[in-house]
Every structure is written in C-alpha cells, then in structure tokens.
Amino acid sequence: MKNVVSVIALASSVCAFAAAKVQMPPSCTNPDGLAVSPDGRLVIAAPNNARTQPGAIFLLDEPGGEPRKWFDVPVHPETGVAGPMGICFGPAGEMYICDNQKDSKARLLCVTFKDGKLASCETVAEGLENANGVKYLNGRLYMTQAFLRKIVREDGHLSSGLYMFNASDRNVRVTNTAADPQLVFIDHTANPKLRVGLNGVAVDSQGFIYTGNYGDGRIWKLKPGADGRIASSELFAWSGIVTPDGLCVDADGNLYTADMHGDAAVKIDRKGTVSIVAKGGFKRPSEPCCWKGGLYVSDYAGTTVTQVRLP
C-alpha cells in the first residue's frame, strides 16, 4: 500500500507549525513507543490493542518513506499475545521492549538481532503490573509503572513508580510493592478522574532522568547516584501540561512530551520553561521522538504517526 502523507496545519499558542501524517500499514492498528535505532532508522512499537493483528515493531527508513513491519514481538507464554509499548536500544544494538499485559503479567524484554532479523528474546523482568516506558542509561534500564495498586495510600491517591534493572538482569520477578528493591522512585496521583501516574521516561546527555505524572500533569527531573538509584529529585515542570505521556530529549537537551489529553506536543527547555510546539490534529498523542530534524509523535488512537517540522 502506498504511503499517504497529508499535510495539515497544527496551531500553536505561539505560531503554526506544518505537520504531516505518516500512514502506518494495515498490520499496525495503533502505534505507541518510538525510538531511533543504532543505524539511524525510526522504530515504532505497535501494541495493536484490538488484537486483530499481533503486537509488532515497525521501521521507517527515511522521512517520507513507507513504514514496514520489522518483526512480531514474541508472545507471552500464558496470554498468547504481546503488547509492545515503550522501547529503547542498548549500546550493543540490543532492543528493550515493555510488553504491557493485563493481570500483572507484563514483561520487560531484551531482543537481539543477526543480519537485521530477530535472533533472540529474553525476559529481563516479569510479573509487572504496567510496563510502560523504558530508557537505557549507564548499563541500567529505567522503566515506569503507571500504576502500582498494591501500594495503598491513606489519602486514596494512586501510587506509581520508576524501576531500575541492570541490563544484564534476566527473569527478575517483581511484586509491584514497596518491597521491590528495583523500585527507585515513587510518585502519587491525586487526580480522581485520571488514575494514571508515572508514564514516559527520558534521559539526557548529562545523565539526568525525566519522568512525567500523567494524571497530575507534572514532570520530574531525577539524578541517579553511582549505584544507579535516585539520589535527588526536582519538580521540573508542572504548568501548561495536561497529561504528559511519552518523553524524549533532543541533541540540545530540550525535553519533549506528548500531551495526550491536551492534544499537543510540548517542549520544555533546559530551564524548565514550557511551550506548545503543536496543538490540535493529533489522535491521542502518546510518544514523541526527535528524528532527522523533525519531531515524530505517535497517534495512539489512530493508525498514523504525526511528523511536526520544528523550526
């Protein structure tokens, strides 16, 4: 099927930015996680929540090209499905995938390749309640769980957390409680209508970790210590963002988030100043990725990826 690119105008609070819609193939019923591969291609994870197609990973070689399926994610042995969401790459070209499953059966996977094809799939961690976003930093994997229902608070707020695993870990089983030694940062969500917490995660060149609370609309800047655990935390941005979902950082250290309920792509500079890059025209934007001069945003409720042309 020929790729269809439609140009639209996305209005910003400052000015208008041109954008294009990249149509995914029929084997993708909804895109989510985005990453850039070691060889410079845009990688797109599709959980395909309708289950009419298997959860899969797609590739886009060049801007304006046609996305194509790379491989189907190996299914969970019990559920028979896979739901790839957050993705990232390690230094040896290995790929880490958040396989989101129901009933605390989510997994964090490590897949390797040979001659561009899937060669192996190993489980880093299992028994996760909500494997959502993941990033690699200094031999470790930082992964968000957007809700941890077993950690009950007296005020009724929803608990969520950031987990840390060694990239070499295999078959780690978590309990989704405060007793998990891999749980390095806990947040809570007060919003009773959007009971979702820490969602996206990003790292910058200085070694800082960023993660956003979806329900309460705030973003944290975290500093890991020598052991990888969080040594300090700073509230980085909390105004002008409705629901920060996925996060990414550009070469200049600017942070971007897909604001799903705000129907916007948002930029936060290194000082924490929030500005709207593009607003309107998305279909529940969920994950941003800077690639070849543009900001790509997955349309979680659609079958497209929006390319926003940055100035």
Q: Give tens-digit pLDDT for 91-129.
A: 999 999 999 999 999 999 999 999 999 999 999 999 999
- The predicted structure's pLDDT at residue 68: 98
Domain contains 166? yes
- Average pLDDT (141-167) is 98
- The predicted structure's pLDDT at residue 18: 60
Calculate the average pLDDT of the chain.
94
- The predicted structure's pLDDT at residue 181: 98
Q: Residue 1's pLDDT band (boundaries 50, 70, 90)?
A: very low
Tally the domains of the chain. 1
- The predicted structure's pLDDT at residue 187: 98
Domain contains 294? no
Q: What is the C-alpha to C-alpha distance for residues 201 and 214, in angstroms, rounded to an integer?
A: 11
Give the CATH number, domain containing residue 94.
2.120.10.30
Q: Which residues pair with 5 in a beta bridge?
A: 22
- Which pTM value belongs to this model? 0.94
Domain contains 267? no
| H-only helix segments in the chain | none
Q: What is the C-alpha to C-alpha distance for residues 132 and 135, in angstroms, rounded to an integer?
A: 11
Phi, psi of 35 (to 5 degrees): -160, 160
Is pLDDT at 279 greater than 50 in this prediction?
yes
Domain contains 259? no
C-alpha distance from residue 83 to each of 16, 100, 242, 289 (Å): 35, 5, 25, 20
- Average pLDDT (50-66) is 96
- The predicted structure's pLDDT at residue 17: 55
Q: Long-range contacts for 274-278 (Cβ within 8 Å, ≥24 apart)?
A: 274/237, 274/239, 274/240, 274/241, 275/13, 275/14, 275/240, 276/12, 276/13, 276/14, 276/240, 277/12, 277/17, 277/308, 277/310, 278/10, 278/11, 278/12, 278/17, 278/19, 278/306, 278/308
Domain contains 89? yes
Domain contains 189? yes
- The predicted structure's pLDDT at residue 19: 80
Structure tokens at 121: 């799939």
Q: What is the pLDDT of residues 160-198, one digit of tens each?
A: 999 999 999 999 999 999 999 999 999 999 999 999 999
Is pLDDT at 15 greater than 50 in this prediction?
no
Structural domain boundaries, residue 102: 37-251
- The predicted structure's pLDDT at residue 4: 35
Domain contains 228? yes
- Exposed e or buried b for every residue in 255-274, given b needs 16+ CB within 10 A? bbbbbbbbbbbbbbeeeeeb
Question: 70 Cβ partners below 8 Å, 6+ apart?
Answer: 43, 56, 57, 58, 59
Domain contains 262? no
Q: Which residues pair with 237 in a beta bridge?
A: 219
